[in-house]
Amino acid sequence: MTKKSVKLRLNQPKFRANNPKPRLTKERLKNIVLKGMGELVILILMFGLCFMILQPLINKLSVSFMAEKDLYDSTIVALPKNFTLDNYKMALRAMDYFKSFINTFIIAVSVAILQVVSCLLVGYGFARFEFPLKKFWFAMVILMIVIPQQTYSSALQLNFRYFDIFGIFTAIFGEPLNLTGTVAPILLLAGSCTGLKCGLYIYLFRQYFRNIPKDIEEAAYVDGCGTIRTLFSIMLPDAMPIASSCFLFSFVWQWTDNYFSTLLLKSANLLPAQLAAVGTRLQSFLDTRPALTYTNCISATGTILLLVPVIIVYLIAQKRFVESLSASAIKM
Amino acid sequence: MKKLRLHTKRAITGYLFILPFLIGFLLFILSPLITSVRMAFSDVSISTTEAGFVLKDVGFDNFIRAFTIDPDFNRLLTESCKDMLVNVPCIIIFSLIAAVLLNRRFPGRGFVRAIFFLPVILNSGIVLGLEKSNALLAGIEVLQSNAADVSITTTMENLLLGALGGVGEEIVSFVSDVVNNFYDIVTASGIQTVIFLSALQTINTSVYEAADIEGCSAWEKLWKITIPMVSPMILVNWIYTIIDRFLRSDNALMEKILTAASASMQYGYSSAMAWIYSIIMLLFIGLSSLIISKVVYYYD
């Protein structure tokens, strides 16, 4: 039953008969004013917080529309005097934007899907089943989250350079496979819950499933649902908010990640790598060596170009998944 | 086939569910992890004859070097721990408040939620690195922060210190430090807010309705319903925040570990430092989650 229907019932005559409409007493007026002031304080607080978060982005935006001479003018802080779109044209060219965009998008979406699906299954396994060595394996998940991946990344890279499973590939091809430079390592890691921040997603799903009452599940088992069907038709609708949050995190982190993708993919021309190389690219376009300030300006513009798609994905995702699905999720 | 007992069957299904992780861990992570442990106990040099590293066993030398010889390590380590003790609770409290506020109905809610999520994007990967190295933007920020030459916290601090006459000086400066770091706290709590928000959204509204009818105040509802219901996520966020604070690439000690590996090729020393760091972090996480999990409420 929703809030509205409760209110409606309370307003019906038989409820009202004993409680006549309260008059506007001094007490009541005081309450209304206090409540209004509370709302106002919250509104101001929200506005301040939003502004604080947005400020670095606003700075980048205003810089990105400035002509080069505006950058050296100390009287200009936020609004450009000579409005221009040249910075965007230059950044698009320097980053080889459209090609890199498609590459990044494909990688980020496939990694996010693989990570969410595999981590959901593993998280569910940890949350709902009792099996030997469970504590040990979960400790391994925690260990994987806690140890900085950078410490074993060089060994990981070597692992993929000479990739072999129990000598199977050596037996077939005569030598271990070289997977560096292909998309295989990054997809393999994502699909097997060992990619970027996967431990966190496993942990999130586990905590989440543990907090869903067992009763619904047991009811499903009694009604003859198998394990798989219980997961997909009973648990999954409830887990949709967390799954979409994980999808978002995974997408965003893959989108902006430079360290792992350069380590494992080398020359796939993803946006972050292109953005990092903007300075050297500029030099090859312009005849002279570009000024540091100008390079910084183009890099700020490039950052905006990098962020825009992620922000759009977020806006769509949070409307489509989080709000609608949590409303339709099973309620006890 | 012999009929399996329900217990065994459940155990097998459980293993099937965590199979992806097992495969990934055993195939990809285990051997690099072991290599990294071995590196911590060796002097590593890059092999000239074949690809890979040559490890020379040196026992605990790398660890001894970190604690006794290196001039920065101990200082950076205590700084990281202090930063964590102060900031992690602040981040958790702030993100919970933010999530409760964002869960209310108000015009433009979707937009404001999107803004609160922005720090996740702005603090990740390449963006954070570029932000730090961008002199132009740093210049603008200095200009903006100096524009109004008054700082509320400094004024408050002076006033309070004057009024108290030197009593509780440390507490005053501690509080104003926290307030001054508020931007840091807000930008570090994007993920936590989203996690809390998705937990808040699964709380059954009928629980609140029942509370309304019983005449609960909003304050009571917060403590008796909201916080117990999101408490599993408080544990998640607590652990995540500790890890996030420790592993941020702009953390001074993390920077030191990374440069030791990449710039000066001291792989052994670098992984020794990383392991010390990870073990301290594990201790922190273990102790604090033991305490928190006492108050976490699960349905089962």
Q: Give the ipTM.
A: 0.77
Measured at the CA of B292, the angle between CA B291 and CA B295, to 5 degrees, comes to 105
What average pLDDT score do residues B50-60 get? 70
User: Would you call B214 an interface residue with chain A, using a CB distance cutoff of 8 Å?
Assistant: no
Please tell me the predicted confidence (pLDDT) of residue A30.
Answer: 87
Domain boundaries, chain B: 68-295
Query: What structural domains does chain A harbor?
Result: 19-52 (no CATH), 86-328 (1.10.3720.10)
Q: Kindly identify which residue of chain B lies nearest to residue A127, measuring between CA atoms.
A: B14
| A165-205 tens-digit pLDDT | 766 777 777 677 777 777 888 888 888 888 888 888 898 88
H-helix segments, A223-291: 227-229, 236-256, 259-265, 271-276, 278-285
Q: Which residues of A touch B136 (CB under 8 A)?
A: 63, 71, 293, 296-297, 300
Task: Give me the residue from B198, B212, B275 closest to A322, CB to CB.
Answer: B198
H-helix segments, A19-96: 26-64, 68-72, 86-95
User: Would you call B15 an interface residue with chain A, using a CB distance cutoff of 8 Å?
Assistant: yes
| A206-265 tens-digit pLDDT | 888 887 778 888 888 888 888 888 888 888 887 877 888 888 889 988 888 887 787 777
User: Would you call B8 an interface residue with chain A, using a CB distance cutoff of 8 Å?
Assistant: no
Å between A287 CA and nearest CA of chain B: 22
CB contact under 8 A, A158 and B29: no
Neighbours of A65 (CB within 10 A): 17
CB contact under 8 A, A318 and B35: no
B132: its two tokens: 């730090």
Distance, CA of B241 to chain centre: 2
B54 close to B47: Cβ distance less than 8 angstroms: yes
Task: Give me the residue from A55, A56, A148 closest to B247, CB to CB.
Answer: A148
What average pLDDT score do residues B239-243 get? 85
Whether domain B68-295 has CATH 1.10.3720.10: the reply is yes
Left (φ > 0), alpha (ψ -120 to 50) or beta: where does B59 sit?
A: left
Q: Kindly identify which residue of chain A lies nearest to residue B274, measuring between CA atoms.
A: A151
| B90-140 tens-digit pLDDT | 899 999 998 888 888 777 777 888 788 888 888 777 777 777 777 777 777
User: Would you call B51 an interface residue with chain A, using a CB distance cutoff of 8 Å?
Assistant: yes
Please tell me the predicted confidence (pLDDT) of residue A1.
Answer: 43
User: Would you call B203 an interface residue with chain A, using a CB distance cutoff of 8 Å?
Assistant: no
Tell me the C-alpha distance between B94 and B89, whole Å. 8
Task: Give me the residue from A3, A131, A146 closest to B14, CB to CB.
Answer: A131
Residue A6 has pLDDT above 70, yes or no: no
CB contact under 8 A, B21 and A194: yes
In this prediction, what percent of chain B has a pLDDT beyond 90?
Answer: 3
CB contact under 8 A, B24 and A146: no
Beta strand B53-57 with B42-46 is antiparallel
Residue B51 has pLDDT above 80, yes or no: no
Å between B264 CA and nearest CA of chain A: 14
